[in-house]
Amino acid sequence: MRPKVRIEHLYKLFGPNPKAALEKLQREGLSKDELLRRYRHTVGLRDVSFEVNEGEVFVVMGLSGSGKSTLVRCINRLIEPTAGRIEVDGEDLTAMSAARLRDVRRKKMAMVFQSFALLPHRSVLDNVAFGLELQGMTVDERRDRARQVIKAVGLGGWEDSLPEQLSGGMQQRVGLARALAIDPDILLMDEPFSALDPLIRRDMQNELLRLQSEMKKTIIFITHDLDEAIKLGDRIAVMKDGEIRQIGTAEEILRRPADEYVAEFVQDIDPARVLTAQQIMFQPDTVVPLHAGPRTAVHVMRHHGLSSVFVLEDADRVAGIVTVDDAVQAAERDLPLRDVLRQDFPRVAPDTPLADLIPIAAQARFPIAVVEGERLLGIIVRVTVLSSLMREPVRLAAQGDSAAAASGEDGRGGAGNARR
Amino acid sequence: MDFVRMPIGHWMNVLVDWMVDNLAPLFRGIRQVIGTLLNATEDFLQWLPWPVLLVLVALLMWRVAGWRGAVLSALGLYLVGSMELWDRAMTTLALMVSSVTLAVLIGVPLGILCAKSDRVLAVVRPMLDMMQTMPAFVYLVPALMFFGIGKVPAVFATLVFATPPSVRLTNLGIRQVPREVVEASQSFGATPWQMLVKVQLPLAMPSIMAGINQTIMLSLSMSVLSAMIAAGGLGQEVLRGLSQVNLGRSFEGGLAIVVIAMILDRMSQSWGRRKRRAA
C-alpha cells in the first residue's frame, strides 16, 4: 500500500542563505552548534524522512526547539522547506504551484493549532464554516455542513456564541470542527491540547480517539507530552535538534529506546500505565480444541511443559481451561474433555491496563485469558506481567509455572513483541 | 574652525521651484479633486437646516454614547449656533470631513502595504516621523506655492499632518494579528486577498479605528493654522480675535472647535470600542 504521506530527506535551515548553508552542512557534516557559530544558520530540520499510512495516527514528539512545529508547518508549506520532498498521495507538495497548493490546503489537509487560532469576531458557526467559505461554498450550504460538524464534536447549541465566550476545551473543539468541516484526508495537529488543563486535555484526547475510530483520518499529531504520544499514537517519532531519533510504536520506544536521549526521555514513564493486556499477551497457539480427547490435552501439556491449557470451541471461543491432573484422570476414566473443564480462570478485555492486571495475576491460579466477548485473543501469565514492568524484555527460563514455561521456550517471555 | 555651510535650504527652494514649474498639471489635478470633494461637502452642510444636523448628531451620539452624550452634544451644537458661528463651524466641519476622508483613503491602504512588506515600512516610517514632527508652518509654504491660497492647500497641509496615525495604526493592527490565526487562514487555503478582508482587517479594526480617531483629532487641531492661509472656518474667528486683541471672539471660536472635537472624538472612539466588543 502506498503511504498517505511520505517525507523524504527534509531539511529546513533558517538564515540569510539557507541553500548555501545546507551544502556546507551536508558536505562538512557540521553539528547544529557549529553551523550556527560558523555560518550563522539555525537548523530547523535535518534529514527528516518518514511515512505515514492512511488512517494512522502518527505522533511527532519532542521538546521545544526540537523542530516538531517546523516539521508540521513544512508539511503544508506554511514554512518552505530548504530541501527534500513531501509527498501526499504520491504528489510532491514542494513542487506545487501556489494555486495547486491552495487547492490541496482547501480540500486535502487541515490544521489544528495550539492556541486554537479562531477568528474572534466570528461566531462558532462561521468559524467552523471558514474553510468551506474559502472554498467558495454558499452561505447556506456551508452553515448546514458546519452545524453537522459542530454537533459531532459535542458543541450543539453553541453555534451563535463567540469564541471568547467558550472555555479553552470548547474553543479547541471549534478548532477541531473547523478542520473536520472540510472533510480532509489529513489532519495536522500542532500541540492541540497543550494549552488545556490536564483534565480537559484527557477529555479531548478521548474525544479525538472516539472521532478517529469513526473517521479514520490520517493524523499527524505534534506533542511534547510523552503520555499523550503513547495514548494517541499508532506510531511515534521522537525528535531532537531537528532530527528524528527514533520511530516506532509506543511499546518499541519504551522497551528499546534507540539512543540515550530517547531512553532518558522515556525513563519516567510507568509501563504499568502505558501497556495494556493486548500489548503484553502472547498469541494463543498452545490450545486444545474441545472436540479433541483428554489424551490430546495431556500430550499438548506434556510437550510444552504446561500444567494447564485453554480449550477452544469453534476455533476461537473459550470453552474453559483444563489442568494436567484433571486431563490425566479424564483419560483414565474415558471421560470427554467437556466434563473436566474449569471456568475459574480470570478474563480481561484487551485494553485493560497493566496496572489492573497486576493484582489479578498475583491471585490467579491459572493464566489470564484476554477475551473480546467469548473470543480468545491472547494469554497472559504471571511472569509476563512481571517482566513487562521491566524496561528490557526478560528471557525466561523454563519453570514449573505452567504456561510461563511455554512462553519461555519459544522466547516470547517478554510477550511485548507477540502482538496479535 | 567653522562649520561647512550646507545649502540644504537652497536645495529645498530649488526643488520646490522645479516642482512648481514642472508639475503644475499634477497640482491642478489634485486641486480639482480636493476642491470638488470639499465644495460638495460644504455645500451640503451649509444647505442642511441646523435643527436637522443637531438631531442627527444627537441620535448618533445616543446610539454610541448613551442619552447623556446625546443631550450634551445637542446643547453644544446649539451653543455654537447661538454664538453665531454655525456657518463657520460648517466650513470647518467640511474641511475636516474632506481631510479625514482623504487621510483614511490614503492612510489605511498605505498602512496595509507597510504591514505586508518590511521594505515599504522601512521607507514609509521615517517619512511619517518627519511629517508629524516637522512644524506645520514649514509645509504651509510649499502648499501655498503648489495650490495657491484657500481651502485646498489647507486640506493638503492637514493631510500631511493628520495621515500618519492612520498609516501607523493600520500597520500595527495588522501586524498584531496573532501569527497562528494568520497561519490558520493560510492552512485552509486563503488567498492573500481573502486573508486581508476576512481575517486581518477585521482583527485589526480596533487599532485602525484608534488611528482614524487620532487622524480626526489632528485635523481639527489644524483648523487655526488653515485659517492663516484663508481657509476660513472657526480658525478664522480665533485669528480675528487675536489680531483685534479681542479675547472674547477668540474664545468663542475656540469653544466651538472644542465642541466639534468632543463630539467627533466620542463618536469615533465608541465606534472603535463597539467594533472591539464585537471582535
The shortest CB-CB distance from B184 to any of A117, A135, A182 is to A117
Helix axes A324-333, A294-304, angle to 10 degrees: 150
**Cross-chain Cβ contact B180/A188 below 8 Å:** no
The shortest CB-CB distance from B203 to any of A105, A121, A130 is to A121
Taking CA atoms, B155 is separated from A105, B116, B162, B277, in Å, by: 47, 29, 10, 33
**Cross-chain Cβ contact A114/B180 below 8 Å:** yes
Closest Cα to residue A82, out of A72, A94, A90?
A94
Nearest chain A Cα distance for residue B115, angstroms = 19
Give the span between the Cα atoms of B50 and B35, in whole angstroms. 24
Give the span between the Cα atoms of B144 and A179, in whole angstroms. 59
Give the span between the Cα atoms of B237 and B241, in whole angstroms. 6
**Cross-chain Cβ contact A113/B199 below 8 Å:** no
Closest B-chain CA to A190? B180
User: Predicted confidence band at A391 (pLDDT cuts at 50, 70, 90)?
Assistant: low
Closest A-chain CA to B190? A134
Strand intervals (E) in A103-223: 109-112, 186-190, 218-223
Q: State the greatest distance between any 2 C-alpha atoms of chain B, in Å, as a whole number.
A: 69
The shortest CB-CB distance from B279 to any of A109, A121, A135 is to A121
Q: Which of A70, A79, A134 to mutate to test the interface with B (most CBs of B within 10 A)?
A: A134
User: In sequence order, what are the beta bridge partners of A13?
Assistant: A43
Residue A408 in this model has a pLDDT that exceeds 90: no
Express the helix, strand and coil content of chain B in percent, nearest 5 each.
85, 0, 15
Three cell numbers written together for B48: 442642511
Chain B: which residues have CB within 8 Å of chain A? Answer: 178, 180-181, 183-191, 194, 198-199, 202-203, 205, 278-279
- Predicted confidence at residue A20, as pLDDT, reads 85
On whether the CB atoms of residues A119 and B181 are closer than 8 A, the answer is yes
Closest B-chain CA to A184? B188
Domain range annotation of chain B: 25-278
The shortest CB-CB distance from B189 to any of A105, A115, A117 is to A105
Closest B-chain CA to A117? B181
Closest A-chain CA to B182? A117
Nearest chain B Cα distance for residue A54, angstroms = 20
Give the span between the Cα atoms of A311 and A297, in whole angstroms. 9
Residue A331 in this model has a pLDDT that exceeds 70: yes
The residue with greater pLDDT, B38 or A386, is B38
Closest A-chain CA to B200? A119
**Cross-chain Cβ contact B188/A105 below 8 Å:** yes
Which of B129-133, B200-204, B223-227 shows the highest mean pLDDT?
B200-204
pLDDT one-digit tens code per residue, A278-306 = 878 888 778 888 888 888 888 888 888 88
What is the average pLDDT across A64-76?
92
**Cross-chain Cβ contact A130/B185 below 8 Å:** yes
**Cross-chain Cβ contact A117/B199 below 8 Å:** no
Q: Which of A70, A80, A113, A190 to mutate to test the interface with B (most CBs of B within 10 A)?
A: A113
**Cross-chain Cβ contact A110/B188 below 8 Å:** yes
Nearest chain B Cα distance for residue A210, angstroms = 24
* Residue environment code for B9-33, b if the CB has 16+ CB neighbours within 10 A, otherwise e: eeeeeeeeeeeeeeeeeebeebbee
Residue A314 in this model has a pLDDT that exceeds 90: no
Taking CA atoms, B190 is separated from A198, A255, B76, B109, B264, in Å, by: 33, 44, 48, 20, 37
Cα B247 to the center of its chain, rounded Å = 28
Looking at A269-273, A389-393, B72-76, which range is the least confident one?
A389-393
Nearest chain A Cα distance for residue B198, angstroms = 9
Helices (H), A40-122: 68-75, 98-107
Closest Cα to residue A221, out of A93, A113, A345, A145?
A113
Q: Which residues of A touch B207 (CB under 8 A)?
A: none
Q: How many CB pairs under 8 A join A and B?
A: 65
The residue with greater pLDDT, A285 or B229, is B229
Q: Which residues of A touch B276 (CB under 8 A)?
A: none
- Predicted confidence at residue B165, as pLDDT, reads 95
- Predicted confidence at residue A393, as pLDDT, reads 47
Residue A400 in this model has a pLDDT that exceeds 90: no
**Cross-chain Cβ contact B187/A188 below 8 Å:** yes
Give every strand in the sheet of A347-348, ordered side by side.
A287-289, A308-313, A317-323, A375-380, A368-372, A347-348
Q: Which of A107, A112, A116, A121 to mutate to test the interface with B (most CBs of B within 10 A)?
A: A121
What is the rounded average pLDDT for all residues in chain A? 85
Q: What are phi and psi of A410, to 5 degrees?
A: -100, 20
pLDDT one-digit tens code per residue, A375-384 = 888 888 887 7
pLDDT one-digit tens code per residue, B78-122 = 999 999 999 999 999 999 999 999 999 999 999 999 999 999 999
* Residue environment code for A133-147, b if the CB has 16+ CB neighbours within 10 A, otherwise e: bbbebeeeebbebbb
Following DSSP, what letter does each residue of A124-145 receive, concatenated? HHHHHTHHHHHHT--HHHHHHH
Nearest chain A Cα distance for residue B62, angstroms = 24
The sign of the CA dihedral A112, A115, A117, A121 is: positive
Q: What's the number of CA atoms in the CB half-sphere (13 Å) around residue B255?
A: 19
What is the rounded average pLDDT for all residues in chain B? 91
Reduced to 3 states (helix: H, G, I; strand: E, B; else coil), residue A52 is strand
**Cross-chain Cβ contact A134/B185 below 8 Å:** yes
pLDDT one-digit tens code per residue, A21-50 = 888 888 887 787 888 888 888 889 999 999
User: Predicted confidence band at A180 (pLDDT cuts at 50, 70, 90)?
Assistant: very high
**Cross-chain Cβ contact A119/B203 below 8 Å:** yes
Nearest chain B Cα distance for residue A368, angstroms = 49
- pTM for this predicted structure: 0.75
On whether the CB atoms of residues B230 and B157 are closer than 8 A, the answer is no
Residue A414 in this model has a pLDDT that exceeds 50: no
Nearest chain A Cα distance for residue B116, angstroms = 16
Residue holding cell 470633494?
A: B37
Q: Does domain B25-278 have CATH number 1.10.3720.10?
A: yes
**Cross-chain Cβ contact B189/A114 below 8 Å:** no
Nearest chain B Cα distance for residue A379, angstroms = 47
**Cross-chain Cβ contact A102/B180 below 8 Å:** no
